[in-house]
A and B are shown apart, each in its own frame.
Chain A
């Protein structure tokens, strides 16, 4: 009786399969285990994780480490990836000129046009002009209402008010003549006095429709065509809000600025091309398609992309003991996205959506120093350790144990840093490819588009479904179903969108409705994984034709995702490919394919 262990060290998880080899060459897989990878894949630190995983797998079958005849390590794919975001446009206000935020409770409704004036100056103001009153936070709402009433009683035309504190409804309820009031304007001191201003408050449940239209702004302020062109970013930033203020300043200038984001040089086997990052993802991916097969991609130093390229090459260089100059970026994935950015020079923390391009890069080298790791592991556990089997081949061997599959079979490995595909044809020949962009890219897109600036939270949003806490005792899941609880929920969750993580619900502090958040999440997954699945398959498919792939199984961490496998299946349904999540040995699901493949391949070699 011979016991053997297959070990697969991946970017995120380390997996083990334990097999028993009988005299007649038959192999039985007895047990398996998975732990988090310790350290970067291919480094000596991995040994700790491997030993943990071995012990975890051996415990239930009552075997000790020293009973193993051999431990087989995968020839890990020498691929690592990284992600970065390049902002292309931003809105700059050189002089305070607009407020367009969403205080939860503005006062009154309608449109008011007038000249800005402070509340105390209102007492001596002329009656032949229309005014917009500015109410600083130091003035109690009763005083503010009284002053406004005094003003209207002497026939002063007050068209609206801007308040610093959350008092709009309180002031409005005490006025004899109702006016629209916008409140919670943090930097009220930045509002210029004596300037034409317009205020709009929409009815509850509606959004403003005048100040979000550049021609309405032009009509209100008598703008010429050139000035009208310049207010477009204001109108855009105000779209969808319930209240807004626009102030005309003499030198006021709002512009959408394009930020030079640097260029990328694509070097293919036959051709070479340059592309500006600010041209957007579509252009970049088009050029990559035209130039591929790619040999190397270079980014302009001093840009975010340049920095990311440097970083990923440096990590790989350290890992493999090679000079940085010997490491090349082999593939990139570009995705268009929107990035909420604080408007520079704003009055109340307004933001506008800037265009951005998310980029994932991948470096590939000849071999990771797995032998060093094997030696270290052997010294630790006193069992012979062999490095055997190319990862792509082992993955296919393992994946073929999925019931209902046969060659030609494609395996799509949906990982964290890269999307890998390999294909075995009827003759047993194997083709494989590694592409930049996978789970980490999805996390980056979610983080950026929701403006979270919290990668961990974005990761949770990626991994788990959402729900809305509707009462203290029930939540509504994103599919519309309702779940009740016997104990009251934490008041901090009340009314919020929550992520249903393994550790309980996490409240999201952003105002975005659930549907927006789930759309961002789904689009991020589609932009990365569906695009990459098609890209990868067209490389490995016979004659580049995806229709000729008979069976496709998905493996890897992201194959466990609650919606990614379905998205890929939907995209491939037109090609007639049998697509689904792998079920290694009929029990493991999309896990353990490589570890299983290692054990099976070893057993085959021993057979007489």
Chain B
């Protein structure tokens, strides 16, 4: 089912999906990969489970990382060649199948290739190098709110 000959040379994270993969799913994934600077290759394949497709893509990709999309089941999986087939690294399913989660999956696929720490949603997208440092400023309401919040957080950490 995979046209091996034409795909072998493409140095990219492979993404396998079948016809029912809506663009709304594929696009955010591609954006996540693009921002991280890692090429991706989308292929239409025949219907199968997201994990299986992801594993096939990972096994085929020269970068060892693959993503499988099953639009009908609304499930997306991220896989690595070294992982056992039944255990994808990440699995996103409805109702979590939103653009933010999908872009994060693309970001993590790229970081897996680059060997960089993966991003998780509970972490702020803006990494502050030294968390815990409090913002001190005088003017705007925003800043006062930030201060109060930091105070609450600090108190909770201590308590």
Instruction: Give a binary string over A502-527; 1 marks a CB under 8 Å from any B CB, 0 the rest.
Output: 00000101110000000000000000
Out of A141, A348, A451, A472, name the residue touching B126 (CB < 8 Å): A348
A405 close to chain B: CB less than 8 A: no
Q: Which residue of A lies closest to B89 (CB)?
A: A491
A557 to B96, CA, bound (A): 50
Pick the residue among B35, B111, B112, B133 that contacts A167 (CB under 8 A): B35
Contact A341–B133 (Cβ < 8 Å): yes
Range of interface residues on A (Cβ < 8 Å): 35 or more
Q: Which of A168, A495, A510 contacts B115 (CB 8 A)?
A: A495
Are A351 and B133 in contact, CB atoms less than 8 angstroms apart?
A: yes
Binary CB contact string for chain A from 136 to 147 against chain B (1 if under 8 A, 0 otherwise): 000001000000
How far is the CB of B131 from the nearest CB of chain A, in Å? 7
Q: How far is the CA of A42 from the CA of B114 in the complex (A)?
A: 55
Cα–Cα, bound, A345→B138 (Å): 9
**Given the contacts A173-B34, A470-B115, A472-B80, A492 and B130 also touching, CB distance less than 8 Å:** no
**How many B residues face the partner with a CB closer than 8 A?**
33
Contacts of A453 in B (CB 8 A): 130-133
A178 within 8 A of B: no
Residue B155 CB within 8 A of the other chain: no
Which residue of chain A is the closest to B137 with respect to CB atoms? A345
Residues of the B chain whose Cβ atoms lie less than 8 Å from the Cβ of A105:
35-37
Q: Are A169 and B80 in contact (CB under 8 A)?
A: no
Residues in B whose Cβ lies below 8 Å from that of A454: 132
**Residues of B bordering A, CB below 8 Å:** 31, 34-37, 80, 82-83, 87, 89-90, 108, 111-112, 114-118, 120, 125-137
> What DSSP secondary structure best describes chain B's contact surface?
loop
Contact B82 A495 (CB under 8 A): no
Q: Is the CB of A472 within 8 A of B129?
A: no
* A265 interface residue per 8 A CB criterion: no
In the assembled complex, the Cα of A507 lies from the Cα of B120 at a distance in Å of: 14
CB distance from A251 to the nearest CB of B (A): 14
Of chain A, the residue at the smallest CB distance from B131 is: A509
Within 8 Å CB of A349, what residues of B? 126, 128-129, 133
**Contact flags A420-462 to B (C-beta < 8 A → 1, else 0):** 0000000000000000000000000000000111100000000
User: Distance in Å from the Cβ of B65 to the closest Cβ of chain A?
Assistant: 11
**Contact partner of B118 among A101, A168, A473, A494, CB < 8 A?**
A494
Q: Are B112 and A494 in contact (CB under 8 A)?
A: yes
Chain B residues near A511: list those with CB within 8 A.
127, 129
Write the A476-509 contact mask toward B (1 if CB under 8 angstroms, else 0): 0000000000001001101110000000000101
Tell me whether A101 and B125 are in contact in the complex, defined as CB-CB below 8 angstroms, given that A471-B115, A472-B83, A492-B118 are known contacts: no
Contact of B35 with A340 in the complex, beta carbons under 8 Å: no
Nearest-neighbour CB distance to chain A for B136, whole angstroms, equals 6
Task: Give Cα distance in the complex from A470 to B37, angstroms.
Answer: 19
A486: min CB distance to chain B, Å: 11
Tell me, rounded to whole Å, the shortest Cβ–Cβ distance linking A192 to chain B: 13
User: Are B118 and A169 neighbours in the complex by a CB distance under 8 Å?
Assistant: no
- Given the known inter-chain contacts A342-B135, A472-B83, please indicate yes or no for A491 contacting B130, CB distance below 8 A: no
- Name the A residues within 8 Å of B131 (CB-CB): 453, 509
A sample of 12 inter-chain contacts (CB < 8 A) reads A105-B35, A169-B34, A342-B133, A349-B129, A451-B129, A453-B130, A471-B115, A488-B82, A488-B83, A491-B89, A495-B111, A495-B118
